[in-house]
Amino acid sequence: MLVAFSALASLLLIAVFILKEGVPFFFKYGLGHFLFGLTWDPQAGQFGIYPMIVASLWVTLGAMAIGAPLGIAGAIFLNEFVPRSVLRVVKPTIELLAGIPSVVYGFLGVMVLAPFIRAHLGGPGLSILAASVILGIMVLPTVISISTDAIGAVPNSYREGALALGATRWQSVTLVTVKAARSGIIASIILAMGRALGETMAVIMVVGNAVKVPHSALDSARTLTANIALEMGYATGLHREALFATGVVLFVVIMLLNAMATSAIKAGGRRA
């Protein structure tokens, strides 16, 4: 109980500290100017994070467009089309991807992916597309692991009933099993979105870090997390408060995503 509450207390202290440092900035500068301002120039006292919000959304949605279909397809394949012995080996191996430091992914993006994009698609190479591909790979363990557990929890009677009614193997998987596991799959996608939104180091290395509203996946941009990491080391005064306020925005968004994932899991449990 002591260990459990110590973890909860740590989270509470982090939340209190971020809110204490960041919320006063909203009253000084104005929430609307902060969220929808187009210019980030601390030297001139301008702290608009709208370009970084747009860039974060582009990168996160791009990562999910890559990682979610691959992850769900991998989970279906591991649960429904391979022997249990293969699943017991492959699933832990995929989960090991989560243990690889993000700087390694970023290095591969800089050395391999960015030059490939620059040579074959145009643009500077370091771009939203490069960040989306890297993050799409990084969220695969989250999507596959949770989706595999959700699909594996579907009772075999569902599959047997579908087959007994004349459904093919593929029809029983897509029309019965996946639908029954839908809440868990949705939860995996939402949690992966939080993982992608909060990633910092790999994104800094491959996204280009240009503070502007992106108009193409080949444009360089700067995400909210990258902005905090790049500037916190030398920020003072109002600039420092603005970075903490950016952290408050990220904190609120990720908490909302986690709450949505928890609600999806609970809803699936009640239906089951």
CATH code, domain carrying 204: 1.10.3720.10
Helix (H, G, I), strand (E, B) or coil at 47: strand
Q: Specify the number of domains making up the chain.
A: 1
Q: Is the pLDDT of residue 264 over 80?
A: no
Locus of tokens 């110590």: 6
Answer yes or no: is 148 within a domain. yes
Its domain, for residue 221, covers 46-271
Answer yes or no: is 251 within a domain. yes
Q: How many CA atoms lie within 13 A of 253 on its CB side?
A: 18
pLDDT confidence bin for 137, thresholds 50/70/90: very high
**C-alpha closest to that of 210 among 54, 104, 95:** 54
Gap between the terminal Cα atoms of the chain: 30
User: According to the model, what pLDDT value does residue 91 have?
Assistant: 83
Show Cβ contacts of residue 174 under 8 Å, excluding neighbours closer than 6 positions: none
- CB of 101 closer than 8 Å to CB of 134: no
Answer yes or no: is 146 within a domain. yes
User: According to the model, what pLDDT value does residue 53 have?
Assistant: 92
Supply the mean pLDDT for the chain: 88
pLDDT, one tens digit per residue, over 149-172 is 899 888 889 888 988 988 888 889
Show Cβ contacts of residue 26 under 8 Å, excluding neighbours closer than 6 positions: 34, 245, 248
Answer yes or no: is 140 within a domain. yes
Answer yes or no: is 115 within a domain. yes
How far apart, in whole angstroms, are the C-alpha atoms of residue 64 and residue 189?
Answer: 7
Q: CA of 131: how far to CAs of 57, 93, 146, 234, in Å?
A: 12, 24, 23, 25
pLDDT, one tens digit per residue, over 73-117 is 999 998 888 888 888 888 888 888 888 888 999 999 999 999 999
Please tell me the pTM assigned to this model.
0.87
pLDDT, one tens digit per residue, over 225-260 is 999 999 988 888 899 999 999 999 998 888 888 787
How far apart, in whole angstroms, are the C-alpha atoms of residue 30 and residue 49?
Answer: 12
Instruction: Give the rounded percent of residues in the chain with a pLDDT score beyond 90.
Output: 41
Answer yes or no: is 199 within a domain. yes
Answer yes or no: is 57 within a domain. yes
CA dihedral 52, 56, 57, 61 (to 10 degrees): 160
- CB of 139 closer than 8 Å to CB of 100: no
- CB of 118 closer than 8 Å to CB of 139: no
Phi, psi of 40 (to 5 degrees): -115, 100
**C-alpha closest to that of 59 among 255, 244, 227, 243:** 227
Answer yes or no: is 224 within a domain. yes
Question: Which tokens hold the place of 121?
Answer: 């698609």
Q: CA of 101: how far to CAs of 12, 111, 183, 202, 224, in Å?
A: 26, 16, 30, 9, 20
